[in-house]
Each structure stands twice: as C-alpha cells, then as structure tokens.
C-alpha cells in the first residue's frame, strides 16, 4: 500500500536551514521559554538543541521586532519586553 509521505510541521532540524513556518514556531517557542524567566542565547540553544548561529539570528529578529530585550548590563541576558511597564517602575 502506497502511503503519503508525512512530515512533522513543527519539527525543526538542528542542522538544516529553517523555512518560514519553522522560524515562526521557533520564535514562539523562544518567547514561551522566556516567559519562564530570563535566558541567554547559549542556554536557549542548549534547551532546544539548535546551533548557536540559528538561535542568534532568531534572537536578533525578535529584538528588532521589539518582542524581547537584551540586557547588556547582566551579561547579554534576554527577557521579554513589557510594553505596558511604566518608566518609573523597576526592572525585574
């Protein structure tokens, strides 16, 4: 019986390039991880099993879009951008 070839839509290969939907799923996964607390690029790459270059590129896109912030004072720790936070409130 000939079956159709199926592939996992949310699967991201650790070595190959990412297509548009994989990039979107991976960015959302990074944001969900950052909901749990601040992480750095190396920790994110280790958590998802991706190369550092892929994570670096995705993090750059998220920073450029304003969804996350890279805190250079704390050694490049990434955290979510809270657009509702007032300027007089303390950073978490």
pLDDT single digits (tens) 27-66: 999 999 999 999 999 999 999 988 899 999 999 999 999 8
* 85 within domain boundaries: no
- Beta strand pairing status for 68-71 and 77-80? antiparallel
Residue 80, beta-bridge partner list: 68
Tell whether 15 is covered by a domain: no
Total domain count, the chain: 1
Percentage of residues in the chain having pLDDT higher than 70: 74
User: Is residue 3 in a domain?
Assistant: no
| 12 part of a folded domain | no
The pTM score is 0.75
CATH number reported for the structural domain that contains residue 59 in this entry: 1.10.10.10
CB proximity list for 90: less than 8 A, separation 6 or greater: none
Tokens representing 42 are 């190396």
């Amino acid at each position: 019986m000939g079956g159709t070839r199926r592939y996992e839509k949310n699967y991201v290969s650790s070595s190959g390039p990412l297509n548009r939907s994989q990039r979107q799923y991976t960015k959302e996964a990074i944001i969900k991880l950052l909901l749990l607390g601040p992480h750095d690029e190396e920790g994110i790459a280790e958590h998802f099993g991706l190369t550092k270059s892929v994570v670096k590129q995705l993090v750059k896109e998220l920073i450029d879009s304003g969804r996350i912030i890279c805190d250079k004072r704390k050694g490049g720790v990434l955290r979510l951008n809270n657009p509702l936070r007032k300027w007089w409130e303390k950073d978490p």
